[in-house]
Structure 1
Amino acid sequence: MSADRFFELPDKRLLCYRSYGSETAPAVILVVGLGLQLTYWPQPIISGLVEMGLRVITLDNRDSGRSFYTQVTPPTVMQQFFRKPTPGYDLGDMANDVIGLMDGLQLQKVGVIGMSMGGMIAQILAARFPERIETLTSIFSTTGSLRVGQPSLRAILQTLRRPPRNQQESVRDYVDIMRLIGSRLEWNEQALRNYAREAWDRGGGEAGNLGVVRQIGAIINSGDRTQDLRKIRCPTLVIHGDKDLMVATSGGFATAAAIPGAHLVLLPGMGHDFPSCLSGTLLSLLAGHLG
């Protein structure tokens, strides 16, 4: 188990990260999704990557976990619903945070694995910093086009609920959304509750609510990134589930179609999460891709 570490970006803001494995091994950075924290990554996947001889680095994105929180005014519910851009940051700024961490850790080139919003950030890294990214793995993510990868109406309504005011409500809301968007392959409610309880405390309680909405604003502000994806030249693996109600499977197909030479793997029964029963499958896919 790794402990939280902190890196100070050039503007003095702190990013929280964890590092696993030998610091001299080839590195892979795992970028988490909307509102999630570095503790979301399943330990079997992290351990499996370390056993492959890799250094694994996970981080809290800005406005989540123990990384810095911005003062950006979050978009309103109506601005979110109508996808209206607002003043603030975008996914490119979040990708720059990752580059800043790489610079601080003296990592010239890494593999990057991102899921959901983290997949969008990883895509931008591969497109805009080709000299720094060895391989790209984009997991249940999309291109930003409004024609693909859209959540179901039920998922949209779930995310627009009143923000939780305490840990109990936060745990309830997390279990409810995962019951809707999670994989059909297994159900481990206790694990979901454990993650949500820890995340509430670790992310500063209600402060995390605004952080999530600011990250939604970053996604909206970034628009359709399809043209960026066409610039990617590193080996790319796209993984998506066929039961994903948060990022429709069409988002995975569109991502793979936009990136030259990308390999798409569609996993039956997988939703918008990492069920433990698929850890072996995911590790096998990553082992083949990361070499």
Structure 2
Amino acid sequence: MKLYLKEILEQRNLSVNQLHKLTGLSRTTLDPLSKSETVPLKTRIETLEKIAAELKIPLSRMISFDETQTAKIFENLGVYHASQEFSAVEREFNDTFIINIIGPKNRTYSLLVKVKYELDDLFYEENTSLFDRIDSIVSSSSDSKISNLQLEAEFDTLSNQLENKAMEYEGKRVFNSNSFTILSLKGKKNWIEKYFPDTSVFDFTNDLSEVIADNAFIDFIASFLSDHYNLKNQVSKILPTIGDPDYFNLSEKERYTPKNVDYFPMVFMDKHENIEKLVYLDFYALD
């Protein structure tokens, strides 16, 4: 597993001695952790959890599985964009695109990715009056629908104006929780054709559920999204924690094994702002 403690200490200008005082862990334990790029053998998960807790970061901010393994198993074949829309009411972008990747045994997987994210607060501050007017139009209409033709026309004008501005904005993107949804295309050719006229480049036979629990797949998706949206990936897995009811019944090996769950939280570092964002990947297989 990759270890990012050295990088974190450098960013925070913390010495090993200061970390020792902060955590109460011996320097003999901390010295190799502060110098290594991978988790040393026989390192106890409790040690890593103690350090993460005292640094007030999630454990998965400090460790991830080796990305070299990912490169050997999954390969990006192409990204096909369908649409990018800005909702003035929800104040967020919606991206839709498909990734073609080669996975284990040279099988091709076509993944539909739906992303929701916001522009930074400065965009809203610069356009407060427009957003306020849209809010007032929506709130004044019955059942959140615009009933008056004049209001509807004004709403469309303001929405288009904000969308054009947002598209030209140089995209400091702040991600919401639950922002990424990834779906398999298995058996959904007719449904996808409305977005992509040429579906010959997609595979509609392989089920995403075959790979969603694969460590390398999670690493691949995390790395792809962080590169695609100019973010720095800080985590790629969920490991059991002391807070889990069955934690103390697990063997040491099991404590290092990611849990098979439906949601894979990750922390991304916004390269513009150096602010950590908690993001959840939602995986679905379209049966």
Q: Is this a same-fold pair by TM over 0.5?
A: no
Measured against the shorter chain, the TM-score band is under 0.3
TM-score by length of 2: 0.23
Higher relative contact order (CA 8 A, sep 6+): 1
**Structure with the higher strand share, 1 or 2:** 2
